[in-house]
């Protein structure tokens, strides 16, 4: 019987790559995209059914569930991949910056998950949330993004424990920077935000902000290839015993070390790496 996956954020990057990989393996993929152009482009691929899905728009999320109901489709895997990145000092951020990131990374993930859970309960399926190493270690000037990804960790833990007796598995993927548009867009947004900071913020954080921007530029250049994260997602979809967490990073041991070090030691180590 053909397996079926619902994936948000399939316009590019990780979402598009895992959608194409699963489709080649004869999965039926419902691919959520935010615009008509991407919808038309993905229509050309066998086993992929693209739908308009902005996870921040309630009508889109409701229509997604109605699509499954009206077509009497089962659902084996939900991959919550849609996401936004943002950087900069908390003092220079606006509440709107926080709301925009949380609307996608947290509230959109929760809303799509709870809306599609009846289908996943019926199939005893699985949910795979795309988090980040920023949900494990919070770097300076990454508070908005890190907070949203720490929330994904907590949501994944709670949901996994809530659904265990229903045989619905929950995994979270924790990649480092990946060569996708989310990081280049985040980089552009950080540069744009800097231009809006008042003089006192620029004076207080100037040199540190310059170092942060250089670190982000380097991270984008040295980012993981999309396929490395896709392979891990594929395992989480297929394995009879999927892991609860998958770290995908060139610094896996460092991340694990930072999680257990005393705070002051971790602070010194993180700041020395920038």
Q: Looking at the 3D structure of the chain, how many domains does it have?
A: 1
Residue 197 is a catalytic residue: no
- pLDDT confidence of residue 199: 85
Per the structure, the complete domain to which residue 205 belongs is given by: 4-272
The share of the chain scoring above pLDDT 70, in percent, equals 95
The CATH code of the domain that includes 267 is: 3.40.50.720
- pLDDT confidence of residue 180: 76
- pLDDT confidence of residue 185: 64
The single residue of 145, 197, 205, 246 carrying the catalytic annotation is 145
pLDDT digit string, tens, across residues 158-214: 999 999 999 999 999 999 888 877 666 656 666 666 667 888 988 898 888 888 888
What does DSSP assign to residue 165?
G
Q: What residues does 171 pair with on adjacent strands?
A: 128
């Amino acid at each position: 019987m053909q397996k079926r996956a619902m994936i948000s954020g399939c316009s590019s990057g990780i979402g598009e790559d895992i959608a194409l990989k699963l489709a080649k393996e004869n999965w039926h993929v419902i691919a959520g995209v935010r615009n008509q152009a991407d919808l038309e482009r993905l229509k050309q691929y066998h086993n992929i059914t693209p739908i308009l899905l902005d996870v921040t728009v309630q009508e889109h999320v409701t229509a997604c569930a109605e699509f499954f109901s009206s077509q009497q489709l089962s659902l084996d895997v939900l991959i919550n991949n849609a996401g936004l990145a943002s950087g900069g000092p908390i003092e220079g951020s606006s509440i709107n910056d926080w709301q925009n990131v949380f609307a996608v990374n947290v509230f959109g993930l929760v809303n799509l998950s709870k809306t599609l859970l009846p289908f996943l309960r019926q199939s005893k399926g699985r949910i795979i949330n795309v988090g980040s190493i920023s949900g494990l270690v919070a770097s300076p000037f990454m508070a908005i993004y890190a907070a949203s990804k720490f929330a994904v960790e907590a949501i994944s833990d709670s949901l996994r424990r809530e659904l265990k007796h229903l045989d619905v598995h929950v995994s979270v993927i924790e990649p480092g920077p990946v060569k996708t548009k989310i990081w280049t867009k985040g980089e552009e947004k950080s540069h744009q935000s800097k231009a809006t900071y008042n003089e006192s913020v620029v004076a207080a954080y100037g040199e540190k902000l310059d170092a942060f921007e250089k670190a982000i530029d380097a991270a984008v250049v040295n980012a993981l290839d999309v396929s490395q994260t896709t392979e891990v997602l594929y395992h989480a979809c297929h394995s009879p015993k999927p892991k609860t967490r998958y770290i995908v990073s060139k610094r896996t041991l460092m991340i694990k070390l930072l999680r257990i070090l005393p705070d002051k030691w971790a602070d010194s180590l993180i700041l020395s790496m920038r």
